[in-house]
Structure 1
Amino acid sequence: MLPKYVFKYWFEHGGTCIWSMNDYARNKFGYAIDNEKLPISKALVDELYALEAEYHGYLDWDYPPSPSPWTLNEKNDFKNRANELYLKLKLELGSDFEIINEIDRCVE
Structure 2
Amino acid sequence: MVHYLRFFFEAGVDTPLWPDDMDSPYGHPCDLERLPIAPATRAELARLCEWYQSSIDWDYPSDPSPWSDEELRLFKQQALTALEVLRRELGAGWTVRDESLL
TM range (shorter): over 0.9
Residue from 9, 12, 21 that aligns with 2:10: 12
Aligned partner of residue 6 in structure 1, secondary structure: strand
Moved over 2 A (4+): none
Structure 2 runs not aligned, ≥5 long: none
What is the match of residue 64 of structure 1? Answer: 61
Give the number of the structure whose residues are more often helix, by fraction: 1
| 1: CA distance, partners of 2:87 / 2:8 | 14
| Two-structure CA RMSD over aligned residues (Å) | 1.2
Q: After superposition, what is the alpha-carbon deviation per residue over 1:55-90, rounded to whole angstroms, capped at 9, x for unaligned?
A: 110100010010000111111110010000000000
Structure 1 runs not aligned, ≥5 long: none
Equivalent pairs, count: 101
Q: CA deviation at 1:30?
A: 2.2
Aligned partner of residue 51 in structure 1, secondary structure: helix
| 2: CA distance, partners of 1:9 / 1:27 | 15
TM-score (norm 2): 0.93
Q: CA deviation at 1:102?
A: 1.8
TM-score (norm 1): 0.88
Task: State the one-letter code of the partner of 2:19.
Answer: S
Tell me the percent identity: 34
